[in-house]
Each structure stands twice: as structure tokens, then as C-alpha cells.
């Protein structure tokens, strides 16, 4: 099977391509950067463990309800224009943390800024959807650059926190957001629609029609199947970020060893993404995605079977490779199934389902662990994710058969 060509490849300039890849680098990485420094800042201003947990979780609260609206707004007004405004707003709010050193300020800022960062990532996905036209190779390179940002961003902000303190760290995040804004606005063609229509206050009000249109995308069986698979993949990411460090700490691993395992998992996933264009020539992307997602959940669930550094590193690399293969393929398949004019809406819908899974699955896993033990929690939730991925497969088979006959 030959990989699909990029949509409108003749109109894609090197500047457009560079801009979209840079947008990926600076967008998603804002989230783990804040995840690293916000608990440190919360502890500095006297927040207890409960408040720290609440503040970290709040970044996803608005995204569950307004991601579809944000994506629809990008489709209507132009992804570049909306992302430019979001990036500037995020840059300003990041500087407000040290200016408002209180728990109330922290809660409010986390709620708003967390949504802005998620929406920047929605915009980057809409950009690559418009640029790549579902080409797996381009999606793989995009996710590699994005993963590189999620690796380097937290590393840099951690160093800045150590040597320059909170002001320096939040200033770096602010600069990161401003870089994203400048990239988005400097190359509007890379962001899909670029309507010159003025922005009215009514455009910013959530519209029921946008949510109907967003969930209406699920009428396509292939879109519905891969939204479910995307949610399962997000659940795997959320579980490993929530409980893997706790497991490693519980078996007396040092911080450096934990950092190596997490970093290797992320980088192996990014490198694996570079291979999806090649693999998609020989294995249909739909089945490759399902297999990679299941194997990622399976390898994650087996981690408690090991206690040595090297076995855990190998299993972690396997998890990273599998999820790293699945991530760009999900983007590629959904991009190909959805029209160019609905790329923002699609990214918003995917963000809504992913955030829902990211918030609910770790809570369920925590309850299972509390009732049993850590290992059993890993086993059970790995099985749950595999079942979630397997559930839509019969519907996908029928949908692909119909598509082949038509």
C-alpha cells in the first residue's frame, strides 16, 4: 500500500512546512513544562498535597467542555489568527504566576492557562492536518519534532528553575508561548483558513451548532473508531505519567534513574514516529495503529513484573515505541477522513475525548490500586485499555469493506 501524498503538495512552501513543525515543537511542550514547575511553585507558596493535585488537574477542566468550540473557531476565523491570539494571551498569563503568589491565583491561572495551552496544541494539530493531508510520513516527522519539544522543554525549564527561580522559569514558558504565537501569525497559509473577517464578540460565545457539528463527525464509523482508539492511547499516556514514577519510587529507584526511563520512553516514541511512513507502505495504517496501541498497553501493564533497571528500561522502550507508532497514525487517519475545513473541529473533538479519558482512567486505576495493590492495578487497567481498543474493531472491518466496495 502506497502512502498518500500530501494534500496540495505543490502549494506547500518550505516556510509553511517549517512553521507547522515549529508550531508542534512549541505547542504541546508547554503542558509538561507547566506540569513540572507548577507543583514546585505551589509548594513554595504553601500549598499542601491536596491543593497541588487540584491545581495540576485543573489545567484540563475547561478543555473537556470547550475544545470543540475552540476548534470550530479556528475553522471559522483561521487557525493562524486564533493561535496567534492564544499564544500572546498564554505568554502574558504565564508571567502572572509570580505576580499573584496565592492559592486562589494559582487555581484561576491554572484553569485559564491550562485551557490556552491545550488549545494551542489543537491549533498545531489543525495546522498539520491542513498541511499533510493525512500523509503518514509527514505526520511521523511532525510527532518526532513535537516529542522533541516535550523532552527539551521540561529539561530547560527545570534547569532555569534551579538557577533563576520561579521568575526565570515562568518567563521561559512565557517566551515559549510567544514563540508559538509569532510562528502561527507569521505564516498564515500554514494554518489553513485565513479569513480576513473581523472578530466579533459573538464569535467567542460557545454555539450549540458547533458541538452538534463536532459530535456529528462521529457519524463516520472510521472516525468514531479512531476517536475511541485515540482515547485509549491518551489513557495509556495518562496512566504512565501518573503511576509509573510512583512505582519506580516505591522500588527504591533514584531520581536520575526515573528520569532516564521517562526520557528514553519519550525519545523512543519520537524516533518510532519517523518510521510510520515506511511501515504504512506494507501494513494498512488502520491495523498498524490498533496493533501498536494494544501492544503499548500490554507492555505498560507488564512493568510491575520487573524490578531491575535494565529490564524496566527495555519494557519502557517497548511502550514508547508502540505508542510512538500509534500517535502519528491516529492523526493521519483522522486527517484523511475529515475535510480540510473541519480540521480544527476534529482536533477539538479529539481533545475532548482524550481529556475525558485522561481524567477518568487514572482515577479508576488509583481506586483499583487502593483496593488491591500496584501490580494488580497495572494488569487490570492494561486489560481494560486493550478491550477498549478491540471493541470497535468489528465496526471498523465493516466500514473498511464498504469503503473498498464503493
Whole-angstrom distance, CA of residue 291 vs CA of residue 285: 10
pLDDT at res. 189: 57
CATH of span 210-406: 1.20.1250.20
Decide if 12-192 and 210-406 have a common fold: yes
219 three-state secondary structure: helix
Going by the DSSP 8-state scheme, the letter that residue 195 receives in this structure is: -
Which DSSP string do the residues of 314-369 spell out, in sequence order?
Answer: HHHHHHHHHHHHHHHHHHHHHHHHS-GGGHHHHHHHHHHHHHHHHHHHHHHHHHHH
CA atoms of 108 and 85, how far apart (whole Å): 19
Q: Look up residue 231 and give its three cell numbers.
A: 482515547
- CATH of 12-192, picked from 1.10.1660.10, 3.55.40.20, 1.20.140.10, 1.20.1250.20, is 1.20.1250.20
The answer to whether the beta carbons of residues 63 and 115 sit under 8 Å apart is: yes
**What pLDDT was estimated at residue 10?**
39
What pLDDT, on the 0 to 100 scale, is given for residue 198? Answer: 64
Return the pLDDT at 313: 93
- pLDDT (tens, 9 = 90+) of the chain, 406 residues, equals 334 444 444 356 777 888 899 999 999 999 888 888 888 888 888 887 778 777 777 887 888 888 998 898 888 888 888 999 999 999 999 999 999 999 999 999 999 999 999 999 999 998 888 887 778 888 999 999 999 998 888 889 888 998 999 999 999 999 999 999 999 887 655 545 545 556 666 666 778 888 999 999 999 999 999 999 999 999 998 888 778 877 887 888 876 788 788 888 888 999 999 999 999 999 999 999 999 999 999 999 999 999 999 999 999 999 999 999 999 999 999 988 988 888 889 999 998 998 888 878 888 888 888 888 889 999 999 999 999 999 999 999 999 988 887 6
C-alpha grid cell for residue 71? 476548534
Tell me the CA distances in angstroms from 108 to 97, 115, 231, 235, 293, one per residue in order. Answer: 10, 11, 27, 26, 35
Query: Domain spans of the chain?
Result: 12-192, 210-406
Rounded to whole angstroms, the Cα distance separating 363 from 282 reads 39
Crossing angle of helices 221-239 and 285-301, in 10° steps, is: 20
C-alpha 60/C-alpha 352 separation (Å) is 9
Give the CB-side neighbour count of residue 175, counting CA atoms within 13 A.
Answer: 10
pLDDT at position 201: 65
Amino acid at each position: 500500500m502506497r502512502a498518500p501524498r500530501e494534500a496540495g503538495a505543490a502549494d506547500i512552501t518550505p516556510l509553511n512546512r517549517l512553521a507547522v513543525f515549529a508550531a508542534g515543537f512549541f505547542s504541546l511542550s508547554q503542558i509538561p513544562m507547566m506540569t513540572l514547575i507548577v507543583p514546585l511553585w505551589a509548594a513554595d507558596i504553601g500549598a499542601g498535597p491536596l491543593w497541588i493535585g487540584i491545581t495540576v488537574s485543573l489545567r484540563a477542566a475547561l478543555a473537556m467542555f470547550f475544545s470543540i468550540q475552540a476548534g470550530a473557531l479556528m475553522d471559522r476565523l483561521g487557525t493562524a489568527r486564533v493561535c496567534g491570539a492564544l499564544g500572546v494571551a498564554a505568554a502574558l498569563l504565564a508571567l502572572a504566576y509570580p505576580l499573584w503568589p496565592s492559592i486562589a491565583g494559582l487555581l484561576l491561572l491554572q484553569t485559564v492557562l491550562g485551557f490556552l495551552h491545550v488549545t494551542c496544541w489543537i491549533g498545531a494539530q489543525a495546522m498539520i492536518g491542513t498541511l499533510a493531508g493525512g500523509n503518514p510520513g509527514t505526520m511521523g516527522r511532525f510527532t518526532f519534532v513535537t516529542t522533541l519539544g516535550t523532552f527539551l522543554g521540561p529539561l530547560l525549564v527545570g534547569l532555569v528553575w534551579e538557577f533563576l527561580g520561579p521568575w526565570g522559569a515562568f518567563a521561559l514558558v512565557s517566551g515559549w508561548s510567544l514563540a508559538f504565537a509569532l510562528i502561527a501569525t507569521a505564516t498564515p497559509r500554514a494554518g489553513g483558513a485565513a479569513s480576513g473577517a473581523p472578530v466579533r464578540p459573538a464569535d467567542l460565545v460557545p454555539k450549540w451548532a458547533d458541538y452538534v457539528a463536532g459530535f456529528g463527525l462521529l457519524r463516520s464509523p472510521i472516525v468514531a473508531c479512531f476517536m475511541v482508539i485515540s482515547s485509549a492511547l491518551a489513557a495509556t499516556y495518562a496512566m504512565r505519567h501518573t503511576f509509573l514514577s510512583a512505582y519506580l519510587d516505591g522500588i527504591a529507584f533514584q531520581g536520575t534513574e526515573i528520569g532516564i526511563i521517562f526520557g528514553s520512553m519519550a525519545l523512543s516514541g519520537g524516533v518510532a514516529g519517523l518510521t510510520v511512513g515506511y511501515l504504512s507502505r506494507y501494513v494498512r495504517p488502520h491495523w498498524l495503529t490498533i496493533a501498536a496501541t494494544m501492544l503499548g498497553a500490554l507492555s505498560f501493564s507488564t512493568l510491575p513484573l520487573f524490578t531491575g533497571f535494565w529490564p524496566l528500561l527495555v519494557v519502557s522502550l517497548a511502550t514508547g515505541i508502540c505508542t510512538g507508532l500509534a500517535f502519528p497514525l491516529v492523526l493521519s487517519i483522522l486527517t484523511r477522513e475529515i475535510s480540510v475545513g473541519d480540521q480544527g473541529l476534529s482536533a477539538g473533538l479529539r481533545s475532548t475525548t482524550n481529556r475525558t479519558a485522561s481524567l477518568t482512567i487514572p482515577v479508576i486505576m488509583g481506586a483499583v490500586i487502593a483496593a488491591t495493590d500496584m501490580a494488580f492495578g497495572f494488569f487490570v487497567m492494561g486489560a481494560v485499555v486493550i478491550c477498549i481498543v478491540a471493541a470497535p474493531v468489528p465496526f471498523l472491518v465493516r466500514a473498511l469493506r464498504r469503503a473498498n466496495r464503493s
